[in-house]
């Protein structure tokens, strides 16, 4: 098994990336800047899911990643729609 | 019949070429983020690139591949005029970016089509005056 | 064999996390929406791919290989389409490029500038 300490260091790194992206999301001058920041936060969430599944040894790891990537696409498209005020 | 036989070979060699470009572009952008502000050498520009794509799948693939390469980003396209509006991070001149994008498109089209077919492009980017109700300039798909 | 693939897998995961951290820093260092979208593009493609491949090397099976390949390809195409949509809506919503942008061909197509007479018809 992979050492627990390694996974915890990796999770701290991801948490820092997520916090920086979240700060941009709070500050972002326009909706579309926030959309880009939330995109990056979503990629860190995918990383978190991977690390947590490795730690608890879940079998369905790759199924979850597959579904998560497709959900992220929906999030990005709806943020873009929000940013342009509903027009396409 | 030889075009059928060489099709997989062409697609695989395109994928290798694209993977090389993709990793190089990643390294470039990552180094530029880490460079101190006094030595940042970003020269961004938004440039109208004449394109040779014809069908829906060709337009979709070329604009997705451009966006997937870090440092270049397709903002919108105008199918009527045959133009890709590309935002580039390191643009030394209009010709350099146009040549880079058109090389990628040439390789993609040669790999995708069974015959190379029509690779001609509009010579000059026409000045696209705004029309219709969206301000996006002919970019409505 | 098992130890080697474990070490390479952990290395790939850390490389992916490093790329995510760098593009998070890029969100603050770059001045406008389009450059920030380019910075996030590195983590959308290579960053997530490295993390998934690292997990695959640690927990390898042929079924997982297929799932991971589909996941990486879907992630790349989906994030490309997503960032195109965000950039396009940003331009429509007057998110102007920063001043260092030295050529802007799209500006010629802006309807409001034509109406103000800044660009001759």
Q: C72-121 pLDDT, tens per residue?
A: 999 998 899 999 988 888 888 877 787 777 777 777 776 666 666 555 54
CB B46 within 8 A of CB B86: yes
Please check whether residue A42 lies inside any domain of the structure. Answer: yes
Distance from CA of A24 to the nearest CA of C (A): 7
Contact B79, B112 (CB under 8 A): no
Q: Residue C70: which of A51, A54, A66 has the nearest Cβ?
A: A66
Least Cα separation, residue C47 to chain B (angstroms): 10
Is pLDDT at C45 greater than 70 in this prediction?
A: yes
Residues linked to residue B84 through DSSP beta bridges, in sequence order: B49, B77
How many domains in chain A? 1
Q: Are the C-beta atoms of A67 and A30 separated by less than 8 Å? A: no
Distance from CA of B136 to the nearest CA of A (A): 10
The pLDDT, as a whole number, for residue B16 is: 94
d(CA C91, CA C112): 13
Instruction: Write down the pLDDT at residue C93.
Output: 80
> What string of pLDDT tens digits covers the 88 residues of chain A?
677 888 889 999 999 999 999 999 898 788 888 889 998 999 999 999 999 888 888 778 888 888 988 888 888 888 888 877 766 6
Helix (H, G, I), strand (E, B) or coil at A88: coil
Interface of C with B (CB under 8 A): 19, 22-23, 25-26, 29-30, 32, 34-35, 37-39, 41-42, 45-46, 76-77, 79-81, 83-84, 87-88, 91-92, 97-98, 100-112, 114, 121
Asked whether B106 and B120 are in contact (CB, 8 A), the reply is: no
Q: Which residues from B are below 8 Å from C101, CB to CB?
A: 44-46
Model pLDDT for residues A27-50, shown as the tens digit of each residue: 878 888 888 999 899 999 999 999
Chain A hits for B140, CB-CB cut-off 8 Å, are 88
User: SS3 of B45, please?
Assistant: strand
Selected residue of A20, A64, A66, A69 to mutate for chain C interface (largest C Cβ count, 10 A): A69
The torsion defined by the Cα of C2, C8, C13 and C18, in degrees rounded to 10, comes to 160
Interface contacts A/B by beta carbons within 8 Å: 3
User: Domain range holding A53?
Assistant: 4-83
Is-contact B29 C38, C-beta < 8 A? yes
- Digit-by-digit pLDDT tens for chain B (141 residues) are 567 778 888 889 999 999 999 999 999 889 888 888 777 778 888 888 888 888 888 899 999 999 999 889 998 888 888 888 899 888 888 888 888 888 898 888 888 887 766 677 766 555 555 544 344 444 333
Question: Where do the DSSP E strands lie in B62-124?
Answer: 72-78, 83-88
Tokens of residue B37, six digits: 């502000």
A88 falls within a domain: no
User: What's the CA angle centered on B73, arms B105 and A16, to 5 degrees?
Assistant: 135
Residue A66: inside a domain: yes
pLDDT at C16: 93
Q: Considering only alpha carbons, which residue of chain B is nearest residue A87?
A: B134
Residue C121 pLDDT? 44
CATH number at residue A56: 1.10.287
Nearest-angstrom CA–CA distance, B138 and B79: 8
> Which of C40, C42, C113 to mutate against chain B (most B CBs within 10 Å)?
C42
Among the listed residues B32, A32, A23, B68, the one whose alpha carbon sits nearest the alpha carbon of residue C22? B32
pTM: 0.85
d(CA C60, CA C5): 9
Query: Which of A21, A61, A75 is closest, CB to CB, to C24?
Result: A21
């Amino acid at each position: 098994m992979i050492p627990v300490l390694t996974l915890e260091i990796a999770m701290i790194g991801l948490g820092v990336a997520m916090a920086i992206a979240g700060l941009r999301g709070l500050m972002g001058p326009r909706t579309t800047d926030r959309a880009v920041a939330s995109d990056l936060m979503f990629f860190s969430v995918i990383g978190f899911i991977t690390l947590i599944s490795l730690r608890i040894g879940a079998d369905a790891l790759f199924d979850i990643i597959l579904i998560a990537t497709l959900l992220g696409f929906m999030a990005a498209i709806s943020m873009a729609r929000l940013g342009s005020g509903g027009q396409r | 019949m030889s075009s059928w036989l060489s099709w997989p070979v062409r697609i695989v060699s395109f994928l290798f070429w694209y993977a090389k470009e993709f990793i190089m572009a990643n390294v470039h952008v990552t180094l530029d983020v880490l460079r101190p502000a006094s030595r940042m050498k970003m020269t961004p520009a938004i440039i109208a690139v004449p394109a040779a794509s014809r069908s829906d799948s060709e337009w979709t693939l070329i604009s997705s591949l451009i966006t997937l390469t870090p440092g270049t980003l397709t903002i919108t396209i105008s199918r009527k005029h045959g133009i890709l509006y590309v935002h580039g991070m390191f643009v030394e001149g209009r010709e350099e970016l146009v040549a880079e994008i058109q090389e990628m498109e040439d390789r993609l089209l040669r790999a995708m089509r069974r015959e190379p077919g029509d690779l001609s492009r509009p010579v000059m980017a026409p000045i696209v005056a705004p029309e219709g109700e969206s301000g996006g300039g002919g970019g409505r798909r | 064999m098992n130890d080697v693939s474990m070490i390479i897998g952990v290395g790939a995961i850390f490389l992916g996390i490093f790329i995510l951290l760098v593009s998070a820093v890029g969100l603050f260092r770059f001045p406008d929406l389009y450059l920030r979208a380019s910075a996030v593009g590195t983590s959308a493609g290579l960053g997530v791919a490295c993390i998934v491949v690292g997990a695959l090397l640690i927990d390898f099976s042929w079924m997982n290989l297929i799932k991971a390949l589909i996941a990486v390809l879907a992630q790349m195409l989906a994030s490309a389409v997503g960032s195109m949509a965000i950039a396009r809506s940003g331009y429509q919503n007057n998110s102007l490029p920063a001043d260092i942008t030295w050529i802007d061909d799209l500006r010629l197509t802006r309807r409001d500038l034509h109406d103000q007479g800044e660009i001759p018809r």
